[in-house]
């Protein structure tokens, strides 16, 4: 115990931060977005016969309220207010220029009758991991081709009652893919904020083929053994900002996707311009931040800072495979703290799930310009496993100012990768050790420039560990 404490103090004293010489423009596309948009027309769900007793099914009430408010979409927009109570419902859709607002003691509860979650066609790219190439259940709250949509509240709750769905999944009794809690497609100017999402049957928040998306101040909770309960999944979407969120779940905390194998390649709709900051996460089965494995449309221009990852399987992960095609490039991850994480960094070139057998085995992904810097970790199992693909080396993988307290005698395992490292403890794998005759260049987080790897200038990083973790939820 005394040894751990002293090690913790040493890391706090000697971990340094590289100061960059440029001003970030990450997230500028979300700065004007706000959950506090004035709507001149407002109704309460009880006006449409809803009963908040947790037993009465209110699907029709929600649908009728939305239908009524649609007449105000071109008159300044409208708000649907959900007061305190437990509001049981099946799937319901949203409209443009709408605010769905929940009281702090309001709980929207997903029905346990699967017939209350309609079955719809699959997404064009099959971009949802483990999605069957057939029909799928509609999400609890959904919308398509919308603009100016806000889902917010005073930390009200949306509960998917996922345990029943997880049981069906484990028992192989589902004919269709499990639903999300929130899914918006082909939509723009979307804000999701100040809410708690609980027990999603599948992924929690899924913007797909969207732009101008802001997710902030949300809490996402699911048991650590729950299957595929991803937190926030931007998918084939651009100009996305995610900040100040707490996620404790059974799969990836935040994961960026862009379509699966030949379907994602054909659609060719990338995820780009994504800003992630101030995230605290815990996951037993996934990573704090992940890319893929469905990334066939491409992922680029991602900047993530201020990540706190505890009691988790992976810290940072990239997943891909032959057949994916596409790319993950221009990714900048900085200011990361980890504690009790089995594997700090993992890049997997053979994450081999496929939607069917029609994929092109020669469609190789491009993984390049990945910078990970200013990372400190306590009680880490393995520092990293970084594996490319034969004939498809992953390039410009850059590690800088990384200090990990590692248990394994073999902290790094690398193959088929190329890149650079500087100030990495324990010393990084040979493939990332710079040759002094070379001029290593790493992606610096901007869209058009790179930075030379230099010795870091010393600056105290004590504050990154002293920032308190958000309160862990118990189940």
Terminal alpha carbon distance of the chain? 28
- Single out the residue of 132, 116, 78 nearest to residue 260, CA to CA: 132
Q: Is the preceding peptide bond at 293 cis, omega within 30 degrees of 0?
A: yes
- Single out the residue of 250, 246, 296, 298 nearest to residue 274, CA to CA: 298
- Distance, in Å, from the CA atom of 160 to the CA atom of 202, rounded to the nearest integer, reads 9
Sequence-separated (6 or more) residues with CB below 8 Å from residue 324: 260, 261, 264, 292, 293, 294, 295, 296, 363, 364, 365
Per DSSP, which regions of 209-323 are E strands?
Answer: 211-221, 238-249, 254-256, 271-283, 287-291, 299-319
For 192-238, the DSSP string reads EEEEEEE--SS-SEEEES-EEEEEEEEEEE--TT-TT--SB--BS-E
Q: Would you tell me how many other CB atoms lie within 10 Å of the CB of residue 130? A: 14
- Single out the residue of 258, 233, 257, 260 nearest to residue 354, CA to CA: 260
Give me the phi and psi of 370, to 5 degrees please: -110, 115
β-partners of residue 385 are: 346, 413
- Distance, in Å, from the CA atom of 100 to the CA atom of 91, rounded to the nearest integer, reads 14
- Distance, in Å, from the CA atom of 258 to the CA atom of 270, rounded to the nearest integer, reads 6
Q: Would you tell me how many other CB atoms lie within 10 Å of the CB of residue 278? A: 17
Sequence-separated (6 or more) residues with CB below 8 Å from residue 214: 30, 33, 190, 191, 192, 193, 240, 241
Half-sphere exposure of 291 (CA within 13 A, CB side): 39
- Give me the sheet containing 92-93, strands edge to edge: 92-93, 141-144, 182-185, 205-208
Sequence-separated (6 or more) residues with CB below 8 Å from residue 145: 185, 186, 187
Q: Is 124 helix (H, G, I), strand (E, B) or coil?
A: coil
For 381, counting Cβ atoms within 10 Å of its Cβ (0-12 exposed, 13-18 middle, 19+ buried), the class is middle
- Distance, in Å, from the CA atom of 314 to the CA atom of 284, rounded to the nearest integer, reads 8
**Given 251, 252, 261, 335, which residue is catalytic?**
251
**444 included as an active-site residue:** no
Count, residues in the chain: 475
Residues acting as catalytic residues: 251
């Amino acid at each position: 115990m005394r040894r751990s404490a002293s090690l913790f103090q040493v890391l706090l004293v000697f971990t340094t931060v590289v100061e960059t010489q440029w001003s970030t423009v990450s997230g500028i596309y979300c700065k004007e977005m706000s959950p506090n948009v004035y709507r001149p027309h407002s109704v309460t769900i009880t006006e449409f016969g809803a009963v908040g007793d947790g037993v009465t099914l209110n699907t029709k009430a929600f649908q009728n309220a939305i239908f009524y408010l649609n007449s105000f979409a071109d008159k300044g927009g409208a708000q649907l207010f959900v007061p305190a109570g437990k509001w049981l419902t099946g799937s319901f859709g949203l409209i443009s220029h709408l605010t769905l607002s929940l009281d702090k003691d309001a709980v929207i509860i997903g029905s346990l009758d699967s017939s209350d979650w309609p079955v719809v066609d699959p997404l064009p790219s099959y971009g949802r991991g483990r999605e069957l190439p057939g029909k799928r259940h509609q999400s609890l709250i959904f919308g398509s081709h919308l603009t100016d949509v806000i889902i917010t509240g005073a930390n009200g709750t949306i509960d998917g009652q996922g345990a029943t769905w997880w049981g069906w999944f484990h028992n192989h009794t589902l004919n269709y893919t499990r639903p999300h809690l929130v899914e918006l497609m082909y939509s723009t100017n979307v804000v999701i904020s100040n809410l708690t999402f609980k027990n999603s049957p599948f992924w929690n928040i899924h913007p797909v083929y969207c732009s101008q998306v802001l997710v902030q101040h949300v809490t996402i909770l699911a048991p650590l053994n729950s299957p595929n309960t991803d937190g926030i999944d931007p998918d084939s979407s651009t100009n996305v900002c995610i900040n100040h969120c707490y996620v404790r779940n059974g799969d990836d905390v935040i994961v960026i996707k862009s379509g699966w194998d030949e379907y994602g390649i054909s659609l060719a709709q990338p995820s780009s311009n994504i800003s992630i900051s101030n995230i605290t996460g815990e996951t037993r089965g996934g990573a704090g931040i992940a890319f893929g494995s469905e990334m066939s449309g491409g992922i680029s221009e991602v900047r993530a800072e201020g990540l706190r990852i505890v009691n988790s399987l992976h810290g940072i992960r990239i997943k891909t495979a032959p057949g994916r095609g596409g790319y993950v490039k221009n990714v900048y991850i900085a200011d990361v703290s980890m504690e009790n994480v089995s594997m700090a960094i993992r890049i997997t070139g053979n994450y081999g799930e496929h939607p069917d057998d029609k994929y092109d085995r020669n469609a190789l992904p491009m993984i390049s310009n990945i910078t990970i810097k200013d990372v400190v970790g306590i009680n880490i199992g393995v520092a990293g496993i970084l594996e490319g693909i034969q004939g498809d080396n992953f390039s410009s993988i850059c590690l800088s100012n990384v200090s990990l307290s590692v248990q394994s005698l073999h902290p790094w395992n690398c193959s088929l990768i190329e890149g650079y490292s500087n100030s990495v403890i324990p010393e990084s794998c040979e493939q990332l050790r710079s040759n002094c005759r070379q001029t290593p260049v790493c992606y610096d987080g901007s869209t058009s420039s790179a930075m030379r790897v230099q010795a870091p200038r010393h600056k105290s990083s004590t504050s990154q560990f002293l920032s308190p973790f958000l309160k862990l939820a118990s189940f």
